[in-house]
């Protein structure tokens, strides 16, 4: 945690109203940020635009950060009741609050992760089993319609080909390349970026390997707009004997 205005860390931080309360600012998260005591006092009840008048870049950053976490929340707010009404006709269901999820998760002594939160949703007595690995599907897109790259002034810099596939491979395919000799010798596995020349780039877990000939490349999975990886859940509950002699579940 750092001060939003001077980036100081390791100092007590106050909750600062970006638009001061005395001037009609609300307590909503979009109006709150963290500030160290000197910055908080220096800003006092001045509007943020006045306080950061000489620092337009910082002003833009603070305002952008204040709005960022709300985008996801806004999407959920506007779709959840529509989703609920649609499901109403089709499936047996019940709704529960986010507070209940947290209560379920904390009394089962699970750490806060997406997977454990999903496990703890709704009415349940106890969580007896947890997951050890989670499949993460990340949107990667299927390419771009852009046919030119532009320079910083917006003028065309580079023409992109209409063709998507070269030597039977498309950018985004999951491939493995076994290079027998030379500088790039070894096995490289990852997403490929194709070139008309047949000299491909492969994005591996260890970085991008450039200039791999299409001859060495073997297809593992076609790009379908998503990237799939398994993420290990770091914490696994295990049973320990409690002082009373019963069995309780603890998490490392």
Positions in the binding site for Zn ion (CB under 5 A)? 3, 5-6, 8, 36, 39
Minimum gap (Å) between residue 43 Cβ and Zn ion: 9
Minimum gap (Å) between residue 22 Cβ and Zn ion: 20
Minimum gap (Å) between residue 13 Cβ and Zn ion: 8
Please work out, in degrees rounded to the nearest 5, the angle formed at the alpha carbon of residue 123 by the alpha carbons of 118 and 126: 80
Q: Nearer to Zn ion by C-beta: 18 or 179?
A: 18
* Residue among 223, 199, 198, 196 nearest 210 (CA): 199
DSSP 79: H
Q: Nearer to Zn ion by C-beta: 60 or 160?
A: 60
Residue for token pair 């997406």 = 114
| CB-based contacts of 55, cutoff 8 Å, min separation 6 | none
* Residue among 115, 117, 147 nearest 134 (CA): 115
Q: Nearer to Zn ion by C-beta: 5 or 116?
A: 5
Q: Nearer to Zn ion by C-beta: 34 or 251?
A: 34
Minimum gap (Å) between residue 56 Cβ and Zn ion: 18
Q: Cα-flanking dihedrals φ and ψ of residue 79, to 5°?
A: -110, -20
Minimum gap (Å) between residue 26 Cβ and Zn ion: 22
| CB-based contacts of 225, cutoff 8 Å, min separation 6 | 139, 140, 141, 142
Q: Nearer to Zn ion by C-beta: 39 or 48?
A: 39
DSSP 29: G
């Amino acid at each position: 945690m750092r001060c939003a205005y001077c980036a100081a860390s390791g100092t007590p931080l106050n909750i600062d109203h970006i638009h001061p309360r005395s001037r009609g600012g609300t307590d909503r998260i979009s109006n709150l940020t963290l500030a160290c005591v000197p910055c908080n006092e220096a800003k006092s009840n001045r509007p943020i635009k006045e306080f950061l008048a000489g620092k337009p870049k910082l002003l833009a950053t603070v305002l952008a950060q204040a709005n960022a976490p709300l985008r996801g929340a806004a999407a959920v707010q506007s779709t959840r009741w529509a989703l609920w009404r649609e499901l109403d006709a089709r499936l047996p269901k019940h709704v529960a609050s986010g507070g209940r999820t947290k209560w379920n998760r904390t009394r089962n002594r699970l750490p806060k992760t997406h997977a454990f939160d999903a496990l703890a949703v709704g009415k349940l007595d106890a969580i007896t089993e947890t997951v050890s690995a989670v499949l993460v599907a990340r949107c990667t897109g299927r390419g771009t319609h852009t046919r030119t790259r532009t320079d910083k002034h917006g003028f065309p810099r580079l023409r992109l080909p209409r063709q998507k596939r070269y030597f039977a491979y498309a950018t985004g395919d999951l491939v493995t390349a076994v290079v027998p000799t030379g500088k790039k010798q070894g096995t490289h596995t990852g997403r490929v970026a194709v070139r008309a020349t047949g000299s491909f780039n492969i994005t591996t877990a260890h970085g991008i390997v450039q200039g791999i000939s299409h001859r060495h490349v073997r297809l593992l999975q076609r790009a379908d707009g998503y990237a799939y990886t398994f993420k290990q859940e770091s914490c696994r509950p295990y049973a320990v004997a409690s002082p009373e002699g019963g069995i309780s579940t603890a998490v490392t």
